């Protein structure tokens, strides 16, 4: 799929008129009304599911009990189920009673190695092992809500199966937050194992993420690059060990590393066209030496690279290698640079985004659908979008009247979600599916 090299396409038309005026998009108002009514009635059950998943979270590639609960629910609805995809993933297929496109819906299902500090009655007290360390486990990024919302959408869509104009593929994906060291996982492995190729092949995919700092009832979207790529870099600086009192007799990799760190920051501040999109190079760890008066032989630093544009991502990789190796060379040291690609740019197909925007206006209200700036967090939903057009949205999970700075951000022990925001997520997933199918059937 070809992508524009710019962060955002030209501003999408926000005044699109009536839904039927958008090419390829139409509404079956009776079916949508029915789906929304079902979502209202289903809300207590969705909240109950969410609390259960929250109380018993599991880490990436270890979500066995979570997967069992999901699979049991889908089977109960009469949906075809495949388990064990990408270790613990669950894929459900619902074939509608009428011909039409295949639409994929995705939710991530893993928790994080975070010890919960909230006082909700369903707080997690789970413990596990992560990369050899004992840790608390918590749904500190809202994946518990994502599971519950997609389970709700599955129940609604299964309840109108004979009226569906196409097929729905439900993808419950493990390890979005990353796999244990030495293991594959997440969306990359789901794609590798053929989730988009085997069985009915989806032509589009929709996903959403709840946000603790966005007010309940709000949907945020960004066409084009919406979340950053995330790559790891490792730089090993090799010098010559010597006594700290006689630095001229060696080559100091610590001083050289300091110069490299400063040089990496000038890639962003002086060599990157930031108006084209945000870019970040962060050194997160640096290790070298064992004693105060010994200049060590080598230093290892590691960090993350973020970009919102594919071409910019490539340039950052090249410049990191050039900067590190040449600065090291100027000091008589050697720098070995390794860049490990992790997650591509999460890229919302502009045409699909424009096409589905009226659906968002209908489900949330035009004033509650916000054109947002891209963020430098990463999402492995991007791997699906590399294969087929996709749309990834944010739904509000912050209580009304609160301010973003007053609530705990994601990946923290105090992370909380206002459960009244879940219903909008369910309605969004079902409405996107129904409207996309209806639009295709009208062509």
Which residues carry out catalysis?
A: 110, 176
- Can you tell me the distance from the alpha carbon of 402 to that of 382, in angstroms, rounded to the nearest whole number? 31
Residue 224: strand pairing partners: 348
Terminal-to-terminal C-alpha distance of the chain: 23
- Can you tell me the distance from the alpha carbon of 368 to that of 12, in angstroms, rounded to the nearest whole number? 17
In the DSSP assignment, the letter for residue 11 is: P
Q: Quote the Cα angle for 442-355-103, to 5°.
A: 70
15 is in an annotated binding site: no
143 is in an annotated binding site: yes
361 is in an annotated binding site: no
Q: What is the dihedral of CA 204, 210, 213, 217, to 10 degrees?
A: 80
Q: Are 423 and 46 in contact (CB under 8 A)?
A: yes
68 is in an annotated binding site: no
Q: Are 392 and 348 in contact (CB under 8 A)?
A: yes
List the helix and strand counts (H, then E) for the chain. Answer: 9, 18
Residue 235: strand pairing partners: 301, 337
317 is in an annotated binding site: no
The residues, ordered by sequence, that sit 6+ positions from 429 with a Cβ below 8 Å of its Cβ are 105, 149, 150, 153, 206, 208
Q: Which residues are annotated as a binding site?
A: 141, 143, 177, 209, 411
Q: Which residues are annotated as a binding site for Mn(2+)?
A: 141, 143, 177, 209, 411
């Amino acid at each position: 799929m070809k992508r524009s090299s710019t962060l955002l396409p030209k501003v999408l038309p926000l005044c699109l008129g009536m839904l039927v005026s958008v090419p390829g998009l139409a509404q079956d108002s009776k079916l949508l009304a029915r789906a929304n009514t079902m979502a209202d009635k289903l809300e207590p059950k969705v909240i109950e599911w969410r609390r259960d998943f929250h109380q018993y979270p599991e880490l990436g590639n270890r979500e066995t009990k979570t997967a069992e609960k999901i699979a049991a629910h889908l089977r109960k609805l009469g949906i075809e189920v495949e388990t064990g995809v990408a270790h613990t993933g669950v894929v459900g297929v619902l074939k509608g009673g009428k011909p039409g496109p295949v639409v994929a819906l995705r939710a991530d299902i893993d928790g994080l190695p975070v010890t919960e500090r909230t006082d909700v009655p369903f707080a997690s007290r789970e413990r596990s092992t992560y990369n050899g360390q004992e840790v608390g486990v918590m749904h500190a990024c809202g994946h518990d809500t994502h599971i519950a919302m997609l389970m709700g959408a599955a129940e609604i869509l299964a309840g109108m199966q004979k009226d569906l104009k196409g097929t729905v593929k439900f993808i419950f994906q493990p390890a979005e937050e990353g796999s244990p060291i030495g293991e594959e996982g997440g969306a990359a492995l789901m794609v590798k194992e053929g989730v988009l190729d085997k069985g009915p092949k989806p032509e589009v995919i929709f996903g959403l993420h709840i946000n603790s700092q966005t007010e309940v009832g709000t949907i945020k979207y960004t066409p084009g690059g919406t979340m950053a790529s995330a790559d790891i870099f490792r730089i090993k600086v090799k010098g010559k060990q010597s006594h700290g009192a006689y630095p001229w007799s060696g080559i100091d990799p610590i001083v050289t590393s300091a110069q490299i760190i400063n040089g990496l920051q000038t890639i962003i501040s002086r060599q990157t066209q930031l108006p084209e999109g945000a870019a970040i190079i962060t050194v997160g760890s640096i290790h070298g030496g064992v004693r105060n008066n010994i200049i060590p032989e080598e230093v290892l630093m590691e960090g993350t690279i973020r970009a919102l544009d594919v071409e910019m991502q490539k340039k950052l990789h090249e410049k990191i290698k050039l900067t590190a190796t040449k600065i090291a060379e100027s000091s008589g040291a050697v720098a070995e640079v390794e860049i490990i690609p992790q997650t591509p740019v999460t890229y919302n197909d502009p045409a699909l985004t424009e096409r589905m925007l009226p659906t968002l206006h209908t489900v949330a209200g035009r004033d509650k659908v916000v054109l947002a700036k891209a963020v430098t967090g990463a999402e492995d939903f991007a791997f699906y979008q590399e294969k087929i057009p996709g749309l990834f949205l944010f739904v509000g999970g912050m209580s009304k009247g609160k301010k973003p700075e007053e609530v705990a951000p994601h990946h923290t022990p105090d992370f909380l979600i206002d459960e009244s925001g879940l219903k909008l997520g369910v309605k969004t997933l079902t409405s996107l599916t129904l409207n996309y199918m209806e639009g295709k059937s009208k062509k």
